[in-house]
Amino acid sequence: MTLKVTVWGENVHEQTNEVVARIYPDGMHACIAAALNEDPEIEARSVTLQDPEHGLTEDVLENTEVLLWWGHAAHGEVRDEIVDRVQERVLQGMGLLVLHSGHYAKIFKRLMGTTCSLKWREAGERERLWVVNPGHPIVQGLGDYIELPHTEMYGEPFAVPNPDEVIFISAFEGGEVFRSGLTYKRGNGKIFYFRPGHETYPIYYDEQVRRVLKNAVKWARPEGSRWIDSCPNVPPERAPNPVTAKGEGLHKPGEEGFR
């Protein structure tokens, strides 16, 4: 059975920046979805901020096993009720991949519970993403590192909670380092933050970056049954012990076992 994936793209820079439009004429979201669809085990579609309900209707999310999120210039335009909807599905078990400047997306900040701030510089520097967890499923098929000739620098400190796992650490020409691949678990859902992907560089055409995305959606796919948010009052399976149980009518003041 194919893995059902949705790629969410902000689709703003592609409409307003000639450089981005030239690199990604169909949008970054379409490029990422096309990369995922190279794998016969994955069925990916793309939606954008401009679609009704930002493309993340209840039906779309109900039929999404893993969601990828790329945003940058319009984080504040994402409606809170859509963020609530995505968060609910992550807690139920939907996987979430947050890409590059999605570190400031409402959904990522909500799930992390922190500012998710960092240092940055756009100077077309070389980046080397070192694989620091070589046995992890996300990095299978890679060598010791991924090298990107031109990219935007992100630098520590990265204001996120301590991750479950660190997968990549980046080193930049300017000397900065950055935790570029982090995993988390929230509720029943797996989350992977992956740093590369600045809009003015053709990073999503890089074969090793595409390999990471394919591996990551497979790693993040739901496992087991869906967790449903409920808090029922459950009766005991057997009658309470009259000596140790508490409650109105079980004991009177002064009696043995009264609390």
Q: Give the tens place of pLDDT for each residue, 80-113.
A: 999 999 999 999 999 999 999 999 999 999 999 9
Average pLDDT of the residues in 147-165: 98
Q: Is pLDDT above 50 for 258? A: no
128 within a domain of the structure (yes/no): no
d(CA 216, CA 212): 6
What is the pTM assigned to this prediction?
0.90
**Total tally of structural domains belonging to the chain:** 1
Average pLDDT of the residues in 243-250: 56
39 within a domain of the structure (yes/no): yes
169 within a domain of the structure (yes/no): no
Q: Is pLDDT above 90 for 47? A: yes
- Name the residue range of residue 76's domain: 3-116+178-220
165 within a domain of the structure (yes/no): no
109 within a domain of the structure (yes/no): yes
Mean pLDDT, all residues of the chain: 94
124 within a domain of the structure (yes/no): no
147 within a domain of the structure (yes/no): no
84 within a domain of the structure (yes/no): yes
Question: What CATH number has the domain bearing residue 212?
Answer: 3.40.50.880
> Strands 3-9 and 177-186: what pairing?
unpaired
**pLDDT computed for residue 229 by the predictor:** 87
The pLDDT-based confidence of 249 (bands split at 50, 70, 90) is: low
**pLDDT computed for residue 225 by the predictor:** 87
Three-state DSSP string of the chain: CCEEEEEEECCCHHHHCHHHHHHCCCCHHHHHHHHHCCCCCEEEEEEECCCHHHHCCHHHHHCCCEEEEECCCCHHHCCHHHHHHHHHHHHHCCEEEEEHHHHHCHHHHHHHCCCCCCEEEEEEEEEEEEECCCCCHHHCCCCCEEEEEEEEEEECCCCCCCCCEEEEEEEECCCCEEEEEEEEEECCEEEEEECCCCCCCCHHHCHHHHHHHHHHHHHHCCCCCCCCCCCCCCCCCCCCCCCCCCCCCCCCCCCCCCC
**pLDDT computed for residue 142 by the predictor:** 98
**pLDDT computed for residue 156 by the predictor:** 98
d(CA 17, CA 31): 17
**pLDDT computed for residue 224 by the predictor:** 86
